[in-house]
Amino acid sequence: MDGAWVYLVTGGCGFIGEKIVELLSEQDYIKEVRVFDSVAKGEVEYLTTATTRVTAVKGDVQDYEALLAAMQGVHVVIHTAALVDYRGTVPFWEMRAVNVGGTENVLRACCALDVPYLVHTSSVAAVGPNTLCEPMFRGNEDTEYSGEVELPYGKTKAMAEKLVLEANGKKLSHGGKLTTCIIRANTVYGEKAAFLQELYWGAKARKGVLNFLEPEDSERNHTYVGNVAWMHVLAARNLQLKPGLLAGQVYYSYDDTPTRKGFLVRHQLLSTADPSVRLGSHIPYWKMWLMIQLHKIIRVILLPFWKPQPFLNLPLLNTIVTTFSYETDKASRHFGYKPLFTWNESRHRTAQWLRAAVGNREPPQLPGKKN
């Protein structure tokens, strides 16, 4: 059947989703990639190649009928669509409706239309840190870690993961069964990473100084968006080739980004784009805690007249300062994953984009984003 596969990527105009679509369009075994997104941009159709057609379909994963229409004739779904919010700007019920309800609709449509393969994009936030801020130091996919997840976004992704794993092996309407796997992204950087623009503008406002919140001994994984996308492409392909091995499995994303110290990664990315950006100092937890409390008081006072958006909240601060790292080669062992882009390539691609992105001199707007 090579050359005739039809893929559908939900959230295919988003940060990770668009890169997945780009790499899928280069695979000669795929006939068509459909992009299903609530903000579907026709530009993705320019990714069409000699062997693979890319088509954009505007629709929301909360709309089951729209999903059914878009998924007609599809063989593989890569489900990246999610409402992402770390700062508490989006109500929990709204995130749950998209991230959990939308996933439920995608799985239901797969079963109704006999779509046998699904790769789900999750997040390390679905695992932790928990509300006790217990660290995980270089764990792996089998590491036991319990407790209530700290971030509301992470709670919704954990719920969605549960649905995806429970759906693995479920009977399809005309025979056969649904085969699913999960990829947990971590802190993903690269072209179109809005948080890098925000960090850059913050540093420039402080005369080029990039300060940081996490303790210097804390660890968190970072992965280039192109390598996260490549892992999705390989996982989807091998769900078909080796379903017995990948079915019901969870994989952490990783590459050769050289350090787990987030402030060093961010500094290297920003200073490659602009050598005037220099690494500053650690901001104490107590100082940020006080600023968050002060912001809450100001927000209550001004609420009748103005509703300032939170720059940070306590769950996010606790997540930032808690070590949550892993060390794994599971994707390599199961489906031959190797990073498609080296650290040097990833860094320079990101820097090239950032230089162009900040050239317009307009600080980015960063509301909760639905892909």
Q: Is 153 a catalytic residue?
A: yes
Q: For residues 122 and 111, give the distance between their C-alpha atoms in angstroms, rounded to a whole number.
A: 21
Active-site residue, selected from the candidate residues 7, 86, 117, 153: 153
* Burial letters 88-114, b for 16+ CB under 10 A, else e: bebeeeebbbbbbbbbbbbbebbbebe
Euclidean distance between CA atoms 64 and 85, whole angstroms: 23
Residue 211 to residue 6: CA distance in whole angstroms:
46
205, burial (CB in 10 Å: exposed 0-12, middle 13-18, buried 19+): exposed
What is the CB-side half-sphere exposure of residue 185 using CA atoms within 13 A? 25
Residue type for 70, please? A
Residues forming a β-bridge with 36: 10, 57
> DSSP 3-state assignment of 370?
strand
Rounded-to-integer distance, Cα 298 and Cα 354, Å: 33
DSSP bridge pairs for 123: 185
Which stretches does DSSP call E strand in the chain?
Answer: 5-10, 30-37, 53-58, 76-79, 83-84, 117-123, 136-139, 179-185, 187-189, 209-212, 222-224, 249-252, 278-282, 324-326, 369-370
Tokens coding 255: 């590459």
Q: Which residues does the annotation mark as catalytic?
A: 153
